[in-house]
Chains A and B, each alone.
Chain A
């Protein structure tokens, strides 16, 4: 083993011993992925079910009843019949119901009529626009089937000039969308937050002074410091992958080797960013604050995890280009759901590699080999 590699391996082993004996680091490294998967996987769900619908059936024909029943059978809506005297406005205003379906008189009669056709109205609570948008999507799909049911398949449905089909995530299951993105958040957390403390801790402990007086070079110290956190990050990735497949049933359509490489690239960028923060601040508290702001917020807000990058103002769209989470978010989702290959993802890989190199170079440049103020 070359002397430089031996020094790096020795520092890596020392870091592993610190991690094993430090309850805070262990809790952060192992507890946070579990917490985040539970939080995002189980609680955040845009895949609404049992949306309450109060039905005002002013037609009262077998066809209108079949239409409503069929909507209820879709599984997305929980239907209740409007009682005497209740108006749609009142039902929505007083949170009795999220939506109201008003079936106008003549609905059954006009079912097969071309032109104006049957008349019904869906009223939605617009104060929750996320849920409204999703409900509308469900309604459009479910109502097409409900019309068939109302007709009793008496005639072919009137054809629409535009037919819609969702590829890669047929049901628009939000967990399929969220969980692959969680890898980005967890890698960001483990990689940046934990690495950010390592060099700062050496400065605060006073051990850096002794370390700098030895023949250990910055490159070896940095490599030794990064390696254990890369391994820890990989454990986080493996945990999220297992949870995605086994608990949440997210399909994985891409190449596992490509996914592993992509994770490694992002983890390297995240740990390099953490190390740069640690080297620059030399104080654990300051390093922690910087890493939360520069690490966690881009992963959560500017990576496309929840808010699409394409919908951001122009400045932020460009700004996200210098953030590794943005590129890894695309590769992770495309590998999980689309089964994308290297031919599709090379721009994302290139950008990640570039940002990785920049962050490592910054860390090396900023690493102090003396005690000069």
Chain B
């Protein structure tokens, strides 16, 4: 489904808001075909990091390099290859699911033919086909998130950035959202998401543990747990921050 092979490299990335240091020397490498989890408690700097990746905030220090098929794209090309769904409510409560999809079709300049097949597929796999006339404000938490995903995935992006996609979503819908993400990663998409549910780190191909703007740990979840001798990410987080002592 994705068009180009993407890679994101962060080196010593920092960002402050006044006297608050939101990000402090974060270095990461994110690549296509994988789900990258940015995990941490509230206020860890996850949203700031994702907004920087989405081009909505500027890095204060360090470097951020994004490539598509090995080349640095222009800002316009990058926007066209990127999809971002924020944590906050960001859809229009009075517009229906189909009206949302049509709106994003025009924002991304998708042809009528492509739209027909992509919208049908996204509605089908997200289980929203039956609710295409329902207004976003009347959707459940899970369906709302899935509609957001369908909107930003319409243009077949290479990079998918999701801020807390499973927050406020019931366990069954959470599983459905994860299954959707696995299928997109399998097709070669670079998926980066933030979550404050520490247990969700284990569902990712790689996890980056953030606390107070600093990167505590980064790697494959199973490997990280094994190395620390921890049973869960909650235990690992407490051990890493000294909270378990």
| Docked complex: A205-227 residues within 8 A CB-CB of B | 205-207, 209-216
Do the beta carbons of A14 and B104 come within 8 Å of each other?
no
Do the beta carbons of B85 and A6 come within 8 Å of each other?
no
| Docked complex: A1-48 residues within 8 A CB-CB of B | 3, 6-7, 9-10, 13-14, 17-18, 21-22
Do the beta carbons of B94 and A10 come within 8 Å of each other?
no
Do the beta carbons of A213 and B84 come within 8 Å of each other?
yes
CA of A10 to CA of B99 in the docked complex: distance in angstroms? Answer: 10
Which of these binds chain B: A187-195, A308-316, A333-341, A365-373?
A365-373
Which A residues lie within 8 Å of B106 (CB)?
Answer: 6-7, 9-10
Do the beta carbons of B92 and A207 come within 8 Å of each other?
yes
Closest to B107 in A: A214
Interface size counted on chain B using CB atoms at 8 A = 34
Which B residues lie within 8 Å of A213 (CB)?
Answer: 54-56, 79, 82-84
Do the beta carbons of B85 and A210 come within 8 Å of each other?
yes
Closest to B161 in A: A213
Interface string of B83-104 (1 = CB under 8 A from A): 1111011111111000100111
Which B residues lie within 8 Å of A6 (CB)?
Answer: 106, 109
Interface string of A69-97 (1 = CB under 8 A from B): 00000000000000000000000000000
Which B residues lie within 8 Å of A216 (CB)?
Answer: 107
Do the beta carbons of A215 and B51 come within 8 Å of each other?
no
Q: Give me 7 A-to-B residue pairs in the complex whose CB atoms sit less than 8 angstroms apart, sorted by A's number.
A: A13-B103, A17-B94, A213-B54, A215-B108, A216-B107, A370-B55, A370-B57
CA of A6 to CA of B152 in the docked complex: distance in angstroms? Answer: 18
Which A residues lie within 8 Å of B58 (CB)?
Answer: 370, 372
Closest to A3 in B: B109
A225 shortest CB reach to chain B, Å: 14
Taking beta carbons and an 8 Å cutoff, which residues of B are in contact with A?
A: 17, 51, 54-58, 76, 79-80, 82-86, 88-95, 99, 102-104, 106-109, 148, 151-152
CA of A10 to CA of B84 in the docked complex: distance in angstroms? Answer: 20
A344 shortest CB reach to chain B, Å: 44
Which B residues lie within 8 Å of A13 (CB)?
Answer: 103
Closest to A201 in B: B92
B93, B95, B108: the one within 8 Å of A214 (CB): B108
Do the beta carbons of A214 and B89 come within 8 Å of each other?
no
A10, A205, A209: the one within 8 Å of B92 (CB): A205
Which B residues lie within 8 Å of A210 (CB)?
Answer: 84-86, 90-91, 148, 151-152
Do the beta carbons of B56 and A370 come within 8 Å of each other?
yes
Do the beta carbons of A215 and B80 come within 8 Å of each other?
yes
Which A residues lie within 8 Å of B80 (CB)?
Answer: 215
